Structure 1
Amino acid sequence: MNARTTRTLAAALSLTAALAISGCSSDSGSDGAKSGKPEIKVSGAFMPEPVNDQMAGGFMVIENGSGTADKLTGVTSPLSDDVQIHETKNQKMQQVPSMGVPAKGRLKLERGGNHVMFMGLKNKPKVGDKVTVELRFENADPVKVELDVKERTHNPQSNESH
């Protein structure tokens, strides 16, 4: 009986400590920090018109406005049953399980770099269409995004002066 009481007390203390720690990790300086979850916003989302129905790339900027880092862990879309997160290193792309979205920072998914890859398209979207995706994160709530289908040569980087 004494061992059971000790285990119950240890469990209660562990739970209390976990709650206290999670309460300290929220960013009280931002509006959405009440939940302690990262604040994710997406901009510039587009997909160049696919050449065929085998694959297509998706590009966007994922911004994290909170002080809590997060990770993009998955992408789903009605366009494909296999949407992958790809990292580009040394001009080679490879599938990765996740990508970091830094606190008060951004993850750029762009041509020639990291991106989302749609494999085995169910149909071939045309310029002017919109493709819906749901981004899943380690901590933040899922985010639904519409990618504008653009000309195959569309590259917003060439319009920026960075």
Structure 2
Amino acid sequence: MSRAFRRSALIGAGLSAVLATGTILVACGTGSDDGRADLSIVGSYVPVPALPGGMGAGYFTVRNDGGAADRLVAVTSPDAGSVTMHTSGESTMTAVDSLQVPAHGALELARGGHHLMIMGWQKPPAVGDELELDLTFAKSGTITVTVPVKPLTYRPGS
């Protein structure tokens, strides 16, 4: 078996594993305290909207293993007309222009807190579909993630 064939087989197997888990890891730095952000996106999912093609929400965690903070400043998707960032309080939901990703910390988008609102679907999403999100950070640029559509009642870790 040639070295090139083995390498392409390993790459293909790794890509299949990543797509199957719905977890995308993207490194943007060295993980050291060199003053750069080192971001990865984990635990992403979109619950299927309650109404077909209706407004949906998006959740994930941005981990930053680097020595510099960053900010999520925009989210777009070729699969939806509009994606906006929000934060929820006790009885309100407010659109925000950016979300902080602390150095050596994480930004969590979860039910009842920071989250995405997704509108104008290109086609009504169904459980098992995938949604592409382009996450734009102030310092780290754009990271594209593929997010699985889960049942409306899905709760990670349960």
- State the TM bucket, normalised to the shorter chain: 0.7 to 0.9
CA distance in 2, matches of 1:74, 1:45: 16
> Which residue of structure 1 aligns with residue 24 of structure 2?
none
Aligned CA RMSD, in angstroms, stands at 1.9
Q: Give 1 or 2 for the bigger CA radius of gyration.
A: 1
Q: How far apart, CA to CA, are the structure 1 residues paired with 2:34 and 2:120?
A: 37
Gap runs ≥5 in structure 2: 1-28
Higher helix share: 1
Indicate conservation of the 8 Å contact 1:111/1:155, yes or no. no
Q: What amino acid is the match of 2:46? A: M
Percent sequence identity over aligned pairs: 35
Aligned to 2:49, the other structure's residue is in SS state: coil
1:39 is matched with which residue?
A: 38
Match of 1:106? 106
**2:119 matches 1:90:** no
Shift of 1:141: 2.2
**How many residue pairs get matched?**
129
In the TM superposition, residue 113 of structure 1 has moved relative to its aligned partner by: 1.4
| Offset, 1:79 | 1.9
Deviation at 1:152? 0.6
Note the alpha carbon deviations across 1:56-97, whole angstroms, 9 max, x for none. 000001111101001100001012121100011123111100
Deviations 1:109-134 (A, max 9, x none): 01121101112222111111111101
TM-score of the superposition, structure 2-length normalised? Answer: 0.75
Match of 2:79, as an amino acid?
Answer: L
Specify every segment of 5 or more residues in structure 1 that has no aligned partner in the other structure, as ranges.
1-29
TM-score (norm 1): 0.73
What is the Cα deviation at residue 32 of structure 1? Answer: 5.5
Which residue of structure 2 aligns with residue 51 of structure 1? Answer: 50
